[in-house]
Structures are given as structure tokens and as C-alpha cells.
Amino acid sequence: MQASHPHRIQLQPGYVLHRRPYRETSLLVDVFSREYGKVGLLAKGVRGGKTARVDSLPPFRPLLLSWTGKGELPLLTGVESAAPSPPLQGVALYCGFYLNELLQAFLHRHDPQPLLFERYAGLLADLPVTGDKDRLLRAFELTLLQELGYGLQLHCDAEHHRDIQPGQSYHYVPDRGPIAARADAGSIRGITLIALREGRLDDAATRREAKWLLRRVIHHHLAGRPLKSRELFRQKSHESS
Amino acid sequence: MQANGSVGRLMQALRCLPGVGPKSAQRMAYYLLLRNRDGARVLAESLLAAVDRVGYCERCRSLSETALCAVCASPSRDQSQLCVVEMPTDVYAIDQAGCYRGVFFVLNGRLSPLDGIGPVELGLDRLEQRLAGGEIKEVVLATNTTVEGEATAHYLGEMAQRHHIRTTRIAYGVPMGGELEFVDGATLSLAFNGRREF
């Protein structure tokens, strides 16, 4: 797949997902670009020193990135700000970290995800202003799973392929789907599955169940790898991812 | 030329310093051995002594040779004002500026979930204990103005407020001696939002 990659990419819209220091003044940057998906880039001379005091590669800011070279580690040749950083503060900022951690864990390199990119950009812009972060995060998690081939089955039960009944309880089995079951601590109500499908999580119980369901499914696909940003929310139990 | 034996080992060892590549390491090694053997001895002894003796201050976690560092032990410091910074070098910078008379708490890092650093890894329980102690009247959040620094500040702010402690964040703005033209947009907008009566 990499052979088909052009050598020189100009002003590609993208976001920084993660950066790690490399050598003295360089960074290894994972970016989520619109047309090329997740790409690892080497950014030389952007760290430390007198000339690089201001961060030119902040996460969450819409950027236009140029890079050159194929292979494992192309070289970042230019970065421009496409728009100001969204004013993410407090819980919205925690949510941003959570999104980046999710993308970092789920995206494969050089696998374009245009729809996910669009949703991510929209979500970053919405997070600072919305009062309903839960609904937006759940919608994003659903899209993420869907786009990467782990979509949730929210229309019919996995055993008898009957429509989800609002009054019925289900056990959700990752990779299979909901299976009708008696209500217990591990079950989820049909009405929650329907609400999730329709993107309206109106009451607290539905939110809690939806969050719990998605957390379990994500956890399953991450094969035990923990998501660290969730720990930030622990102080704020009433408003978490 | 490939140096072997002790010289080679010295050159390799010098490369653990930041910014020192093979060429500089070679220059340093040859300088020490040819021109300044006394200096080399002093350097070696000081390094050993420092590595053996310097640990972390048990109160602020800054580098210290004693159980309590000079700042924490000083009676002239305001023990009710606590400034939280990311690195020991920040303590030094703030102290040099001479504008702050309180004490410090050094995180030795920042919350950075994508690097696997959460509240537990940062040892924030130690800070929590200190806040719970009741001696602190104000927490000054002086973490960096990066996204990680901001997240850390917010987290610490919530923590301090749970203990009903006044919490302040250092101001954002235009650097002294700076020209507006060269200041980035984000800083400028923060400077405008935070403008004061003149």
C-alpha cells in the first residue's frame, strides 16, 4: 500500500494526535490527516532552543501539514494553522485527550478515514460549547467502531434476528450483538439500544447504560489495553466519558 | 579514528549528555585527558557525589541533598502558599525571578494520558495529602501552557477546590520586550481576554 504513496504531500488538513520527543530538538508526531489517515511524521528542530519556544504542533488545532518521503517515517516539512485552537478547557479538554487516545489506539497507519476525520473535527469544535458531551462522545464512539469494522448491532437481536424491543433486556456480546436475556446487573434495556441507534440519550439511566455498553465494547476491542484519559474523569463522576 | 578501551568508554559515556553527539564527545574526552586532568577528576568526583547524595525533597519533590530542600526548610518562606510546577527547573526559574515567596510542589511531569501518565503515575496522592493537611491557603497553578499543562492545572484546581483552598492560575499574555506583530494568535487572544484596567 505504501508504494502508492506520493513522496510529497502539501498542506494536508490534519490534527496532531500525539507527540513524543525524539533526540534533542525533534518530535515524533502522530497526525490524523484527512486523506491519508493516521501518519507518523518526524518534525525536526521544533522542540527546545530559542527559536522554538512556541508550540507549532499543538493537539486539537486544525493544521495544514506538508510532508515528504514515504516509508515508515516521512519528514514534516511545513505546518500552518488552519484555524485557531478550539478553546478546550477542563472537562472538554479531558474529552479531547480521550478522543485522541481512542484514535491513537484504533486507527491504523495510512488508512484514510474521511468520515471519522470529519466527525472528529466537528466534535472538537462542538466540545467547548456543548452542554451535552455524553451524547456527542457516544455518537463518536459509535461512528469510530462502525467505520473501523466493529460496528454495533442495534437493530435486531443476534440469536433470532428479531427487532429490538424497548421493554426487553439484552446481554450485549461484542462481535455478535444483543441477546435477549433476563434483566440483571450485566444487562442493557432495549430502549437504550434504540436510543443509542437514534442518537438521543435523554435520561440519566439511558446515558449510564449507553456509556457502560460502549466502554465494554471498546475495552473488548482494545484487548485489555487501558485508556488512561478515563482516569482524569474520576474526580468528576457526574460528567464523564 | 575509532578509540578503544577507556577513551572509547569515556566518549560513549559523555554521549549521555543532551546535545552531545560522537564528535563533541570525542572533543570533550580528548580535552579532559590532554589538557585538564584535574578538571576531569573534579568532574568525576562531583558527579559521583551528586548521584549518590542528591535525592528528592520529601515535601516538594524538588531535587535536594537533605530530607527537606532549602526552600521548604526556610522559615522566611510563606508555607501557606503552594506553587505547583512541572519540573525542578521551573522552581529555579521562578525563584530566580524573585517574585514568589511561598513554597513549591514539583510534579516531575504532567498529566499526559497518551503517554500513560495519569494522576496515579504523577503521585498526586502526595499533593492531596498535603492539601488535606490544612496548612495551605492558596494553590498557584504554574504548569506549562501546553494542552497537557492546562489539563493538569484543571485537574489540580478541582482537587484544591474539593479542599476549599483558593486556587489561582498564572496569567497568560504577551512576553516582556516582545513585539505584538510576532506574538502568535492564541497568546494574543488570551492577552486580550485577560486585559486589565490601566
Domain with CATH 2.40.50.140 in chain A: 8-81
DSSP class per residue in B81-110: EEEEESSHHHHHHHHHHT---EEEEE-SS-
Residues in chain A closer than 8 A to B111 (CB atoms): 232
* CA separation for the pair B114, A230 (Å, rounded): 11
Q: Which residue has the higher pLDDT, B3 or B70?
A: B70
- Rounded to the nearest angstrom, the minimum Cα separation between A193 and chain B is 30
Same domain? B83 vs B47 = no
**Are B92 and B130 within one domain?**
yes
pLDDT tens by residue, A189-239 = 998 999 988 888 888 888 889 999 999 999 999 987 888 888 888 765 433
Statement: A8-81 belongs to CATH 2.30.30.90: no
d(CA B105, CA B135): 14
Whether B118 maps to a domain, the answer reads yes
Distance from CA of A97 to the nearest CA of B (A): 7
Domain of B33, CATH number, reads: 1.10.8.420
List every span in chain A annotated with CATH 1.20.1440.120.
Answer: 91-240
Taking only the tens place, the pLDDT of each residue in B173-190 is 888 887 888 887 778 888
Q: Which amino acid is at B80?
A: S
Nearest residue, CB atoms, B116 vs list A96, A228, A234: A228
Find cell 542528591 and name the residue: B54
Residue B103 to residue B135: CA distance in whole angstroms: 12
Within a domain: B197: no
The alpha carbon of residue A240 is apart from the nearest alpha carbon of chain B, in Å, by 13
**Are residues A232 and B150, on separate chains, in Cβ contact within 8 Å?**
no
Kindly report the CATH number assigned to the domain that includes residue B106.
3.40.1360.10
CATH of A91-240, one of 1.10.3720.10, 2.60.40.10, 3.40.640.10, 1.20.1440.120: 1.20.1440.120
Name the strand (E) or helix (H) holding A99: helix A91-106
How far from B124 is each of A44, B60, B91, B159, B165, CA to CA, in Å? 33, 12, 18, 10, 16
Using only the alpha carbons of chain B, give its radius of gyration. Answer: 22
Q: How confident is the model at residue B66 (pLDDT cuts 50, 70, 90)?
A: very high
Tell whether B164 and B95 lie within a shared domain: yes
Are B16 and B88 in a shared domain?
Answer: no
User: Which set of grid coordinates corresponds to residue B161?
Assistant: 477546590
Q: Report the number of distinct structural domains present in chain B.
A: 2
Is B190 within the bounds of a domain?
no
The chain-wide mean pLDDT, for chain A, equals: 87
Contact: B147, A88; criterion CB under 8 Å:
yes
The closest CB to that of B113, out of A20, A232, A234, belongs to A232
Partner-chain residue, chosen from A54, A81, A101, that has the shortest CB–CB distance to B113 = A101
DSSP helix/strand/coil, A206:
helix
A150: left (phi over 0), alpha (psi -120 to 50) or beta: alpha
Same domain, B39 and B116: no
Across the strands, what pairs with A28? A20, A42
How many Cα atoms occupy the beta-carbon half-sphere of A121 within 13 Å? 18
pLDDT at A74: 92
CB contact under 8 A, B114 and A90: no
| Domain range for B142 | 74-169
